Structure 1
Amino acid sequence: MLRIFIHDNQTSKLEEMTDPKQILTAISDTQKTIWVDFAKPSQEEAKLLEEGFHFHPIAIESAMKEGERPKFYSYGNYSFLLMEATVASNKGSVVKLSQFSAFISDNYLVTVHQKDINFIEDTIKTIKGEPELFNKGVGFLLYNLLDGLIANYFPILDKIDNKLKTIEERIFQRPNQQVLNEIFKLRQEINQIRKSVSNNLDVLSLMLRHDSLQSSEENRMYFMDLYDHLMHLLDMVDMYHDMVFTSMDAYLSSVSNNMNNIMKVLTAMTTIMMPLTVITGIYGMNFDLPEFHWTYGYAWALTLMAVSVVAMTLFLRSRKWL
């Protein structure tokens, strides 16, 4: 799907169009700021990137192909940006990533994405309500988009925080293999987020060195704010990464304690049964013992066994071994 927004900087009039031919006419007018959004572009729409805008084929291939590493390149009269963005996930996984690409020039911005991304729609609503935002230039429009891209990470970290709290409760209540599997899965997701945030941070660092994207000192401050947000995200991800390993240690300690308690009970039972083994061993010998001819011999043996069990139990409790 192709969406075109053309803003007249003199009249502050914003027009939304869908005809690609109108783009080529508007690009040459320096008094207009243009945003073209390619959402899940078809092959026919993708041809416009090369034939209409004359973007480099490598940049177009990166924009159209999912799974590319975040990057930033300058091609003279325009720059190419590729970052990872979070998208809604209907599955059990907390994290689902897609890529967001942008071609940035002095008076136009072209964005490309293969998945539905909510911050695109949010930015469209914003510019429709405040078309004068285009007067601040393409750099400010890009800032609004990247601000939404970064903000989408925070709800994911909130979900991870809730998952960690749930896992910690289950560790101390009833640790089992399922809890361990969830810890491993969460660790993988945190590593995935960390890699994504780190890559985006590297890209933003390259952008900050490129003066053409920061048409004013004010815009530069906005991009610096994005950089601070990503640094804060990275700190949070590192914290959750440490918490996962702490949960892993707590799980192993809990399992080890449970095993120790089981061994303690089994050892105590074995110790209590030792006198019985001795008594039955004595009376099981192949000799003629006096107790065999005694009327109360059987009762005597049972009583002796019972007394030994009670005595051993009291002894273990007195030493706090049971």
Structure 2
Amino acid sequence: MTGSQYLKLLNPLALFNTRRTRDIFKVNPTVTPERKEADHIVVSVFDYDKEEIKESSFDRIESCEQFKDNGRISWINVDGIRKKEVEVLCNHFGIHYLIAEDILSVGQRPKIDEIHPVLYCLLNMLYFNEQTATVETEQISIILGKDYVITYQEDASRDVFDGVREKLKLSDSKLRQSGADYLCYALIDMIVDHYYLVMDKIGDRIELLEERIIRSSNKRSLAEINALRKELIVLKRNVGPVRDIVNGFVKTDSQLLEERTRKYFKDIYDHIVQANDLAESYRDMMLNLHDLYVSNVNLKMNEVMKVMAIVTCLLAPATVIGGIFGMNFDIIPYAHESNGFYIATGLMIMVPLVMVFIFRKRGWF
């Protein structure tokens, strides 16, 4: 456990962190957020056909001009987003300025647009941060044009496209034998498949939390329930709209998609529908965990109240006997007897013991 995590446990109020809530719900479509431009960009290009493939890397966007209409399939991946470079590349490939604005946007809802001569989709890659137990997002823009695919990523340090890169290097792979539309499918398929890895991480957290709540419910359990429900909101917000994106690829009449490729997008559609169902199941599980927590707290309270009620009942006879023999009357039975004290004390002990026997026989505790 790190020092910051230990200090967090010392302050129970810190468990109910509201900053994460503000981060999740800060999106306001009426206000144009300002994107912090990347310090530098890295452009990686896979230029290939059935016979050969050429892998290149540049730090200047102008170097991509050679890959337009060269008779081969080109995948141009740009790590790092800067306004000037986005506009230069879009102008060179004849991409509409509205798409350039979407690439530069922040917190955009996943979407698909068909603006001649390209198909454009925007969605988020998801990662699960083990240290903070949060779902992190990275906005991805994918542009499908004639014989080329352009992708924009915000973070150069991580992505989920390594599997696509490895398949491109195999001369007999389906990617090398197909066109740019199949490459676009493979990229989206990788993103959707990675959603399941994130959901598995959340599912494991839910199972562990359920076990802890069953064993012992406390304020920390409630804080963890609240935190996981926030992450499920992030998950649902990013996974849900992808179904419309894939459905748009299936139903589009664009000439950029071959008929044989549409069946692959239908396969992604099945996967994303299943991911949506799984997200809904997790949401129901979190509601059930909250009800379980409330039930355990009420059960503990009932146990405490039962013990207090039993103790009160057991002390009641002693209180009554002590009150009777403590009255200020001249004549009280056994008040002046030498054994009066022992008789009163014996009654105070015997009556509660009889009550305990009766309570146990009836199964009250």
How many residue pairs get matched?
Answer: 320
Instruction: Measure how far apart 1:236 and its partner are.
Output: 1.1
- Pick closer, same or farther for the CA change 1:13–1:154 going to 2, 3 Å: closer
What's the counterpart of residue 74 of structure 1? Answer: 114
- Pick closer, same or farther for the CA change 1:180–1:21 going to 2, 3 Å: closer
1:317 aligns with 2:360: yes
Q: Deviations over 1:64-111 (max 9, x none)?
A: 233111111111111211012113535322411121101111111110
Contact in 1 for aligned 2:112/2:121 (Cα 8 Å) = yes
- Pick closer, same or farther for the CA change 1:42–1:90 going to 2, 3 Å: farther
Q: Deviations over 1:173-205 (max 9, x none)?
A: 110010111111111211221221111111111
Aligned mates of 2:255, 2:304 — CA distance in 1: 65
Instruction: Measure how far apart 1:295 and its partner are.
Output: 0.9
- Pick closer, same or farther for the CA change 1:274–1:13 going to 2, 3 Å: closer
Q: Report SS of the residue matched to 1:41.
A: coil
Question: What TM-score do the two structures reach when normalised by structure 1?
Answer: 0.92
Please identify which structure carries the higher helix content.
1
What's the counterpart of residue 336 of structure 2? Answer: 293
Aligned mates of 2:74, 2:168 — CA distance in 1: 12
1:7 aligns with 2:48: yes
Aligned counterpart for 2:170 among listed residues 129, 132, 145: 129
Aligned mates of 2:210, 2:142 — CA distance in 1: 41
1:223 aligns with 2:265: yes
Aligned mates of 2:130, 2:351 — CA distance in 1: 64
Q: Deviations over 1:126-153 (max 9, x none)?
A: 2123486244111110111111101111
Aligned mates of 2:61, 2:312 — CA distance in 1: 85
Aligned mates of 1:101, 1:224 — CA distance in 2: 21
Give unmatched runs, 5+ long, in structure 2. Answer: 1-41
What's the counterpart of residue 36 of structure 1? Answer: 76
Aligned counterpart for 1:279 among listed residues 316, 321, 331: 321
Instruction: Measure how far apart 1:54 and its partner are.
Output: 3.3
- Pick closer, same or farther for the CA change 1:252–1:75 going to 2, 3 Å: same
Aligned mates of 2:339, 2:62 — CA distance in 1: 114
What's the counterpart of residue 17 of structure 2? Answer: none
Q: Deviations over 1:250-303 (max 9, x none)?
A: 111111111111111111111111111110110111112242211111111111
Aligned mates of 1:232, 1:140 — CA distance in 2: 22
1:163 aligns with 2:181: no
What's the counterpart of residue 303 of structure 1? Answer: 346
Contact in 2 for aligned 1:168/1:247 (Cα 8 Å) = yes
Instruction: Measure how far apart 1:43 and its partner are.
Output: 4.3
1:175-190 residue pairs with structure 2 within 5 A?
Answer: 175-190=217-232
1:115-264 residue pairs with structure 2 within 5 A?
Answer: 115-116=155-156, 117-130=158-171, 133-212=175-254, 215-264=257-306
Question: What TM-score do the two structures reach when normalised by structure 2?
Answer: 0.82
Aligned counterpart for 2:135 among listed residues 81, 95, 117: 95
- Pick closer, same or farther for the CA change 1:213–1:91 going to 2, 3 Å: farther
Aligned counterpart for 2:312 among listed residues 270, 275, 279: 270
Aligned mates of 2:194, 2:165 — CA distance in 1: 16
Contact in 2 for aligned 1:14/1:128 (Cα 8 Å) = no
- Pick closer, same or farther for the CA change 1:52–1:282 going to 2, 3 Å: same
Fraction of identical pairs, as percent: 28
Aligned mates of 1:92, 1:82 — CA distance in 2: 26
Return the letter of the residue paired with 1:321: W
Aligned mates of 2:128, 2:80 — CA distance in 1: 16
Aligned mates of 1:214, 1:225 — CA distance in 2: 19
Please report the RMSD computed on the Cα atoms of aligned residues, expressed in angstroms. 2.0
Structure 1 runs (4+) greater than 6 angstroms displaced: none
Instruction: Measure how far apart 1:124 and its partner are.
Output: 2.1
Aligned counterpart for 2:145 among listed residues 105, 123, 127: 105
Instruction: Measure how far apart 1:39 and its partner are.
Output: 0.7
- Pick closer, same or farther for the CA change 1:138–1:238 going to 2, 3 Å: same
Aligned mates of 1:296, 1:52 — CA distance in 2: 112
Q: Deviations over 1:20-52 (max 9, x none)?
A: 4453233123x2111111111344432422332
Q: Deviations over 1:192-240 (max 9, x none)?
A: 2122111111111122111337633331111111001101111111111
Aligned mates of 2:327, 2:335 — CA distance in 1: 12
1:54 aligns with 2:97: no
